[in-house]
């Protein structure tokens, strides 16, 4: 039997990403000092919601980026990540074709020009006949509405 408290990082890494790892073990691994282990827990498709709550506040953006790529993370959490303080997290959402259009449109007016540009491209790739949505984002009336 594998010891999940093992000091071997490889063993912990494999366990952190396995959907068959018991929740009790995932809870220990979600608090691991190793960033790669916490990132792997965030990628786990069987991650419990309370661990998403924990990892969404992780100090390391790379861990939060992993949550953006996990299909099991619900829109409730994506909503929070759209406003994340790290442009890397917002960029990860902006380039993810699975991100809902409503979130991409919000990211399309992000303060970071790289995030905004990538969100526009991703939105237009998944909504090819919706260029008008992007144009409307740039209208002065909408800019005032967004600022208030």
Does residue 90 share a domain with residue 44?
Answer: no
Q: Are residues 1 and 65 in the same domain?
A: yes
Q: Average pLDDT of the chain?
A: 89
For residues 83 and 140, what is the distance between their CA atoms, to the nearest angstrom? 22
Predicted confidence (pLDDT) per residue in 62-108, tens digit: 999 999 999 999 999 999 999 999 999 999 999 999 999 999 999 99
For residue 40, CA distances in Å to 15, 29, 46, 107 come to 9, 9, 11, 25
> By percentage, how much of the chain surpasses pLDDT 70?
82
93 & 119 share domain: yes
Cα gap 64→131, rounded to integer Å: 30
Q: Whole-prediction pTM value? A: 0.83
Tell me the per-residue pLDDT of 114-139, one tens digit each, with 9 for 90 and over: 999 999 999 999 877 666 666 666 65
Residue 20 binned pLDDT confidence (cut-offs 50, 70, 90): very high
Q: For residue 19, tell me if it sits in a domain.
A: yes
- Contact in structure between 26 and 51 (CB atoms under 8 Å): yes
Total domain count, the chain? 2
Sign (positive or negative) of CA dihedral 108, 57, 70, 91 = positive
What is the span of the domain harbouring residue 32? 1-73
């Amino acid at each position: 039997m594998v010891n999940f408290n093992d000091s071997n990082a490889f063993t912990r890494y494999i366990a952190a990403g396995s959907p068959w790892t018991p929740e009790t073990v995932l809870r220990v691994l979600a608090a691991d000092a190793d960033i790669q282990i916490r990132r792997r827990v965030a990628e786990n498709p069987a991650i419990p919601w309370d661990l998403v709550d924990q990892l969404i506040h992780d100090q390391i953006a790379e861990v939060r980026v992993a949550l953006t790529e996990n299909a099991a993370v619900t829109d409730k959490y994506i909503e929070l990540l759209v406003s994340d303080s790290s442009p890397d997290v917002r960029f990860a959402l902006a380039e993810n074709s699975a991100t809902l259009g409503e979130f991409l449109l919000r990211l399309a007016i992000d303060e970071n020009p790289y995030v905004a540009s990538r969100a526009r491209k991703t939105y237009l790739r998944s909504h090819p006949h919706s260029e008008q949505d992007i144009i409307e984002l740039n209208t002065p009336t909408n800019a005032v509405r967004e600022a208030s």
